[in-house]
Amino acid sequence: MGDKKRYALVGTGGRSSFFYSAIATDYSATSCIVGLCDTNQTRMDYANTKLESLGHPKVPTFLAADFDKLIETTKPDEVIITTMDRTHNIYIVRALELGCNVVTEKPMTIDAPRCREIFSAVERTGKSVRVTFNYRYAPHNTKVYELLRSGAIGTVTSVHFEWMLNTSHGADYFRRWHRDKRNSGGLLVHKSTHHFDLVNFWLQTRPLSVYAQGDLKFYGRENAEKRGVTKFYSRAHGSEAAKDDPFALHLDTIPALKAMYLDAEHEDGYYRDQSVFGDGINIEDTMNLLVRYRNGAVMSYSMTAYAPWEGFRVNFNGTGGRLEVEVVENSYVNSGGEQAEEGSLERRSILLRPLLEKPREIEIGGSTGAHGGGDTVLLNDLFGEPVTDEYMRAASHIDGAASILTGIAANKSIATGQVVFVDDILHVPG
């Protein structure tokens, strides 16, 4: 594979094809996959089938216990990590120690001790970690950064940020491994890391303190019982009760999910189609935060994981006016359809209200594809020819830590009822 940059990929579940499909097609001239690693052979075999269908040669596969052997045998330049969140740190640290740079899916990790391990490994090895915050690259989010940087509303004093996950996308976190906080850190770490990173990026600052409240108000068996539900099941496959449940995910009707999960269950017992109204859910679906930033700005933030629409509203108040943003995204289930549908746009608007002047709509550059058009730009930044990015959107391990610390502090605040100072959890340099 000549002078191509060599990538090994760890974790061949739903998110992995975003990376390997791009390398096999748009970036095949400069990049290649040299090996796959997972806890599940069936899932790796499916990824190999997909690679071959895209014109990329089949690559060797290694079970998780043989990660070192993967690196020694295939000699990658970089390792792409798309495993379960709680295992990111294991592969990040070991890849760095074995001489590779790392590209990791968000969140970088789920708690402060794991962050410290990653910081230490970067310092020890001199290798780099990139965290793939695709929302930074969406044209509307880049436009917000541009406007705030230009001083369009003066100094930002407060932010109100509301994010809605609908009953398709939002529910999906309650079917999967994410439903156990031990695996994901809850949605304030797993999902909100995107949103907290955007605020850090937009305001060019870091969180100082966090106060949060969070509850499970909609999903889970107890909530369903309160609403009068009487039929329950543990998973959709093979269940009569699931046939009438609009929240059930039927793996055998979606080829990609069947191949990656239903056909792979015999190896690890992982069920991708658990009931969102079952027992064993210990993450929140209703979350509210107050965050103070180092630059003096304050944010009120809310996330609802059972909304009737998908997207966000964020409003910035400043000494020179107000900026109002609304983005409505199309609904999706991870790997349940075309990759380009994930977070694609239904509509978006940015309204600038300068003090003592008439409000005006801001024109936003065109965008196509997933995550508001951010995926395409991110992939080009990762795998395309190097270019200077005036917006400095590439995110390091420092950015990865700064984004999750808001969620980690929020989890601690929910548990204790107290305001939590971020530096008491982990000091992030810079």
Q: Which amino acid is at 295?
A: N
What is the CATH code of the structural domain delimited by 5-131? 3.40.50.720
The reported pLDDT for the residue numbered 141 is: 96
Tell whether pTM > 0.85.
yes
Per the DSSP assignment, residues forming a β-bridge with 345 are: 329
Burial label, 385 (beta-carbon count in 10 A; 0-12, 13-18, 19+): exposed
- In CATH, the architecture of 135-219+281-424 is 2-Layer Sandwich (3.30)
User: What pLDDT does residue 245 have?
Assistant: 94
pLDDT at 373: 76
**In this model, does residue 335 exceed pLDDT 90?**
no
C-alpha distances in angstroms, 37 versus 109, 124, 138? 19, 25, 30
Q: What share of the chain is helix, strand, coil (3-state, %, to 5)?
A: 40, 25, 35
Contact present, 400 and 129 (Cβ < 8 Å)? yes
Least confident of 31-45, 229-243, 329-343: 329-343
The pair of structure tokens assigned to 401 is 């830590």
Q: What is the pLDDT of residues 71-114, one digit of tens each?
A: 999 999 999 999 999 999 999 999 999 999 999 999 999 999 99
pLDDT of 369 higher than 70? no
- Is the pLDDT higher at 333 or at 332? 333
H or E segment and range at residue 208: strand 207-215
State yes or no: pLDDT of 165 exceeds 80: yes
Residue 340 has pLDDT above 60, yes or no: no
| Predicted confidence (pLDDT) at residue 341 exceeds the cutoff of 80 | no
Contact predicate 44/38, CB 8 Å:
yes
Taking the domains of the chain in order of start, what are their residue ranges?
Answer: 5-131, 135-219+281-424, 235-268
State pLDDT tens for residues 143-153: 999 999 999 99
List, for residues 403-416, the tens digit of each pLDDT value.
999 999 999 999 99
Average pLDDT value for residue range 154-162: 98
pLDDT at residue number 374: 81
For 209-241, letters b (16+ CB in 10 Å) and e give bbbbebebebbbbebbeeeeeeebbebbbebee
How many angstroms separate the first and last alpha carbons of the chain?
A: 39
pLDDT at 338: 61
Q: How confident is the model at residue 371 (pLDDT cuts 50, 70, 90)?
A: low
Provide the token pair at 343: 């977070």
Q: Give the model's confidence band at 330: pLDDT under 50 very low, under 70 low, under 90 confident, else very high.
A: confident
